[in-house]
Structure 1
Amino acid sequence: MPKVLVFGTGSLGTCYAWALANAVGQDNVTAICRSNYEFASRNGFTIHSNLWGDNLHFQPRIARSVAEAVQQLASDAQPFFDFVVVAAKAVPTDPSIAELIGPAIAKGKTAIVLLQNGIGIEDEYAQLYPESPLLSTVAYFPATQVSPGVVHHREVETLHVGTYPATAPARHKEVALEFVELLGKGGATAKLHDDIQRKRWGKLLVNSSWNPVCALTRLRDREFIEASLSLDLGAEDKWGDGVRFIKDVMLEIAAVAQAYGYSDVDEGMVDFQIGRAVVRDLPGVQPSMLGDAFDSKTMEVDAIVGNVVRLARKKGLAVPMLRTIYILANGLSESFARKKLQS
């Protein structure tokens, strides 16, 4: 059976660790835990899902570090991992996450799976591990870790998977298919794509707009819309100036996507994403950055917003609204980091 290391066991990492444990057996899955280590090592994990079922309990191997996880494999017949799934948030660390997983990467044998948000996050992994298959993913998976080792998951669940780059060797394409099939065997929904970046840009329309705006305003998406209905700044539709603002930001993101060859990330797709938000019941969705802001945690500002601004600059595109949001959201995230240093 393939052996899997999951680096990052928040809500997303826990749920896909469960699916992979169903496919390969929980003894072949190792979860790296930090804040939830004590609980998970004693009790494992429990998922309550509207889609998969309630009280789903599993207990994979638990390790505090990648080095410890590798050491646990020393006595196994196969002393290396087939897949390292990176499910930690894409925030700057020293050493970087790409460097931290190094001890678990067997040259030419271990595939790396990036279960993270953002754009332009793959390059460091590709440079450090050029012979390893590198799989990039886009998750649609509303889940929350409500306490250490306990995750609540709502009804949507799809993971889009593709190689990085899209022109990867045939063997890497085969590994991507193997990973998709493992998830299917484990009860999850995974779809294979020739070019996963198209899906990344499509999700960025939502992530790079709603995430920082909700974090900066401390409002969920539908609350933000409601709060701006009476501003009377000249919006032409009934949803008001907040929706017009979000649409303008999304159109800047779409323009960057189109500059990189993804012409179908257009105003039609923007309108579709806007339409999803305006029909939600109050209070609406709480994006991950808003949750981080409430908890005074470092946010994924660079991966989700800053990299779009930098990619726009490379193409000579002006994105003034997104640039402003990036500067403000980066300042908010920095305030949390400074507060931790002072405490």
Structure 2
Amino acid sequence: MELKARVLIVGGGAIGGLFAWRLSLSRDVTVSIVCRSNYTQVKNSGYLISSAQFGSAVYRPKGVYQSVDQAVQTEGSSYDYVIVALKALPNIYDSSERIAAAVGPNTMVILFQNGIGIEEPFAKRFPNNPLVSSVSFVSVKQENQGELRHGGFSLLAAGLHNAPRSLAERYHDRLQFLFAAFESQGVSCMIEADIQPYRWQKHILNGSTNPVSVICGGSSCQEMVKNPHCKWLLEQSMAEIFLLGKTVTGKSFPGVDGIVDPQSATDYIKSIPVPVYTSMLVDSQCKRPMERDVILKNPIALAEKHGVDVPHMRALYALTTMIEEGYSK
């Protein structure tokens, strides 16, 4: 009997649930998932998925756990791949610590997290493991616990973050194996020598619409770009991200979705047929911690390091921080 690669996805929200579903359909891998707030729903009934790209389905993961420790106690720690789909909240917890029990000597760690500067805690904790930074271009939302709504497109772009030259080819082959499993189930995948321009490409929307939507008090992305004043603020913030990203990486962005400047970014938002509400907005409305550090604080620190002026990003960080600190008042 041919052995299948073992995958543990840590974080069973919208991103983790969607990609666990697609990966589980491959005959080459087995997939387990760690859920938190939606554990009971997923454990008992699975995911109810409505996808414009893949159709509707009920996905019942074979292994559903409340914690990484529980998964390891049940299945052992010899995972070939650990995919991190947790929210990146370094001011609240260390994601690398949360997955540590599942990372063995040969485990490849793959980050499906948003934001800038997310890789360093993992590189520090797992210096001898292959670490992959992946950027997901996908519209998916968990509307209720275990209920996912996905649009008509899914793309993963990834690259090795810490690959010694002597091992780079072997690590590349392992990543290629996993991505072939994704591609066999309709997910487009790219492996890049330098993934950071793609990470900054996604950050054009993440770093602008997320904080602005929180400050606007509940507006969809489409509503924001229809308002001329708000559209101006979005485009000013996007211009800072373009300049900072190009300065940090020394490269141009890849232009995914035709986004090559702030104007094309807001035009893209206008073209989306259904209302889009950002993850930071949803977290704010639920009075949960927002990913403000990886979306704003880390880029601002890089701007200081590289001498790039980002006044709009600074203002957005100040305001979202005040809003989050006001939860407990």
TM-score, length basis structure 1: 0.86
Partner of 2:320: 329
Of the candidates 97, 102, 114, which is equivalent to residue 95 of structure 2?
97
Equivalent-residue separation in structure 1 for 2:235 and 2:91 (angstroms): 32
In structure 1, the gaps of 5 or more residues are: 229-239
Do the aligned residues in 2 keep the contact of 1:6 with 1:84 (CA within 8 Å)? yes
The structural deviation recorded for 1:170 is 2.5
Partner of 2:146: 149
Q: Does 1:273 align with 2:270?
A: no
Equivalent-residue separation in structure 1 for 2:85 and 2:122 (angstroms): 14
The structural deviation recorded for 1:177 is 1.4
Seq. identity, %: 29
Do the aligned residues in 1 keep the contact of 2:46 with 2:58 (CA within 8 Å)? no
**1:107-156 C-alpha deviation (Å, 9 max, x unpaired):** 2x101111110011001101110111111111121111122222111212
Distance 1:68 1:280, change over 3 A: closer
Equivalent-residue separation in structure 1 for 2:324 and 2:162 (angstroms): 30
Q: Does 1:251 align with 2:249?
A: no
Distance 1:167 1:316, change over 3 A: farther
Do the aligned residues in 1 keep the contact of 2:133 with 2:160 (CA within 8 Å)? yes
Partner of 2:229: 241
Stretch moving more, 42-51 or 124-133:
42-51
For residues 169-208 of structure 1, what are the structure 2 equivalents within 5 Å? 169-208=168-207
Equivalent-residue separation in structure 2 for 1:262 and 1:179 (angstroms): 29
Larger radius of gyration: 1
Of the candidates 126, 137, 141, which is equivalent to residue 123 of structure 2?
126
Do the aligned residues in 2 keep the contact of 1:43 with 1:59 (CA within 8 Å)? no
Of the candidates 41, 58, 83, which is equivalent to residue 85 of structure 1?
83
SS in 2 for 1:260: helix
Q: Does 1:225 align with 2:225?
A: yes
**1:63-102 C-alpha deviation (Å, 9 max, x unpaired):** 111111111124xxxx510111111111136651101111
Distance 1:103 1:171, change over 3 A: same
Distance 1:250 1:166, change over 3 A: farther
Do the aligned residues in 2 keep the contact of 1:158 with 1:190 (CA within 8 Å)? yes
Partner of 1:303: 294
Equivalent-residue separation in structure 2 for 1:110 and 1:186 (angstroms): 23
Do the aligned residues in 1 keep the contact of 2:115 with 2:203 (CA within 8 Å)? yes
Q: Does 1:48 align with 2:39?
A: no
Aligned residue pairs total 319
Partner of 1:57: 59
SS in 2 for 1:141: strand
Q: Does 1:11 align with 2:14?
A: yes
SS in 2 for 1:85: strand
The structural deviation recorded for 1:280 is 4.7
Moved segments of 4+, more than 6 Å: none
Equivalent-residue separation in structure 2 for 1:334 and 1:24 (angstroms): 47
The structural deviation recorded for 1:165 is 4.3
Distance 1:177 1:280, change over 3 A: closer
Do the aligned residues in 2 keep the contact of 1:48 with 1:151 (CA within 8 Å)? yes
Do the aligned residues in 1 keep the contact of 2:239 with 2:261 (CA within 8 Å)? no
SS in 2 for 1:249: helix
The structural deviation recorded for 1:57 is 2.4
Equivalent-residue separation in structure 2 for 1:174 and 1:334 (angstroms): 45
**One-letter amino acid of the structure 2 residue matched with residue 287 of structure 1:** T
Q: Does 1:2 align with 2:5?
A: yes
The structural deviation recorded for 1:167 is 7.1
The structural deviation recorded for 1:179 is 2.0
Do the aligned residues in 1 keep the contact of 2:43 with 2:64 (CA within 8 Å)? yes
RMSD: 2.2
Equivalent-residue separation in structure 1 for 2:198 and 2:31 (angstroms): 28
Equivalent-residue separation in structure 1 for 2:231 and 2:263 (angstroms): 10
Do the aligned residues in 2 keep the contact of 1:139 with 1:157 (CA within 8 Å)? yes
TM-score, length basis structure 2: 0.90
Do the aligned residues in 1 keep the contact of 2:130 with 2:163 (CA within 8 Å)? no
The structural deviation recorded for 1:61 is 0.4
